[in-house]
């Protein structure tokens, strides 16, 4: 009887040693990170820097033709009123660069995957379906480093 009790006690102790760290880890993961602060503001004339990404999307206006879409991933930024935080807690982090000419598109093509800086002239929250970014920069110019 004592041997059976000792075996069960050892089994329970082993189970507790295995389960306790798992419970502690689960509690740490479930704790929410502290709320992020809103990003610093960006307005016309300021510089936006980040990594340039390119994606091929179907253009709704051109009968579904695949076109390149360029996007800068940056730190969170607040937009000027009335756009503010674009319904996000910290502000947008992805900014679609709208190209107005083939020259602008070819200029960006050589910088894909690299850090770039653009001077922002017009920026707004994304609102159209098919926009892959949180904010859209409609007028911009590349800043030479």
Q: Is the CA virtual torsion 132, 135, 141, 143 positive or negative?
A: negative
The answer as to whether 25 is a domain residue is no
Q: Report the CATH number that the domain containing residue 47 is assigned in CATH.
A: 2.40.50
**Structural domain that includes position 75:** 41-142
- Phi then psi dihedrals of residue 38, to 5 deg: -60, 145
Q: What's the whole-model pTM score?
A: 0.67
Euclidean distance between CA atoms 120 and 47, whole angstroms: 6
Count up the domains in the chain and report the number. 1
13-68 tens-digit pLDDT: 555 455 455 555 555 555 555 556 777 888 888 999 999 999 887 766 666 777 77
Distance CA 49, CA 115 (A): 7
Are the CB atoms for 118 and 72 separated by under 8 Å? yes
- 64 domain residue, yes or no: yes
């Amino acid at each position: 009887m004592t041997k059976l009790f000792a075996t069960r006690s050892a089994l329970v102790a082993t189970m507790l040693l295995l389960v306790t760290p798992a419970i502690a880890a689960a509690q740490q993961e479930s704790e929410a990170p502290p709320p992020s602060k809103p990003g610093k503001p960006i307005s016309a004339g300021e510089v936006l820097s980040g990594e340039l990404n390119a994606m091929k999307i179907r253009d709704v206006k051109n009968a579904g033709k695949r076109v390149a879409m360029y996007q800068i991933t940056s730190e969170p930024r607040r937009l000027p009123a009335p756009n503010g935080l674009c319904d996000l807690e910290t502000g947008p982090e992805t900014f679609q660069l709208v190209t107005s000419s083939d020259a602008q598109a070819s200029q960006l093509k050589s910088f894909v995957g690299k850090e770039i800086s653009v001077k922002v002239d017009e920026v707004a929250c994304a609102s159209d379906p098919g926009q892959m970014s949180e904010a859209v920069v409609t007028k911009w110019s590349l800043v030479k480093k």
